[in-house]
């Protein structure tokens, strides 16, 4: 099993590009604080490169920016390449399956306010129902 869940702050603005086949690709990195302090009593931070594809990539580029908090669910992927000096370099990246935008008050590039990001729809019997369409249920109506 290869699954990772990270919550952290973006260290730079997302970079949206398109492959030669027309598929959207967004790269960004997040800083995640470690749970425990080191020997000096400091909490260290790890930095993770994240890659999102297609519609998720477009949403990340639209709604995320440097300093904003995000949750990323995905898998870890390693790759290698040969550097100009002939040495082999290794890269570890997080391939995002889901990204949750956790910071409020998102802004666009011209500093105008944007409406809140779209909420992920709940799935019901194979169809999709938006959160706004769900009706409250009384505790008395629950079968357990």
> 60-113 pLDDT, tens per residue?
999 999 999 999 999 999 999 999 999 999 999 999 999 999 988 545 545 555
pLDDT for residue 7 is more than 80: yes
The percent of residues above 70 in pLDDT, for the chain, comes to: 72
Q: Residue 49, Cβ neighbours under 10 Å: how many?
A: 13
CA separation, residue 3 to residues 6, 75, 97, 128 (Å): 10, 5, 10, 25
Mean predicted lDDT score pLDDT of the chain: 84
- pTM equals 0.70
For domain 4-107, the CATH class is mainly beta
pLDDT band at 13 (very low <50, low <70, confident <90, very high): very high
Looking at residue 122, its pLDDT comes to: 41
Looking at residue 141, its pLDDT comes to: 66
Question: Quick one: DSSP state of residue 120?
Answer: P
Tell me the average pLDDT across 124-137: 55
pLDDT for residue 117 is more than 80: no
Q: Which residue's structure tokens are 């500093």?
A: 111
CA distance 63 to 59: 6
pLDDT for residue 125 is more than 50: no
């Amino acid at each position: 099993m290869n699954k990772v869940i990270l919550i952290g702050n973006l260290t730079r603005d997302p970079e949206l590009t398109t492959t030669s086949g027309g598929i959207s690709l967004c790269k960004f990195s997040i800083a995640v604080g470690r749970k425990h302090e080191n020997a000096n009593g400091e909490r260290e931070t790890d930095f993770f490169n994240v890659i999102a594809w297609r519609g998720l990539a477009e949403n990340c580029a639209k709604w995320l920016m440097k300093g904003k908090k995000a949750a990323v669910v995905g898998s870890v992927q390693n790759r290698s390449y040969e550097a100009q000096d002939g040495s082999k370099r290794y890269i570890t990246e997080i391939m995002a399956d889901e990204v949750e935008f956790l910071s409020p008050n998102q802004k666009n590039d011209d500093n105008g306010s944007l409406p809140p990001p779209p909420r992920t729809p709940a799935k019901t019997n194979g169809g999709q129902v938006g959160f706004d369409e769900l009706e409250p249920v009384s505790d008395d109506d629950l079968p357990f």
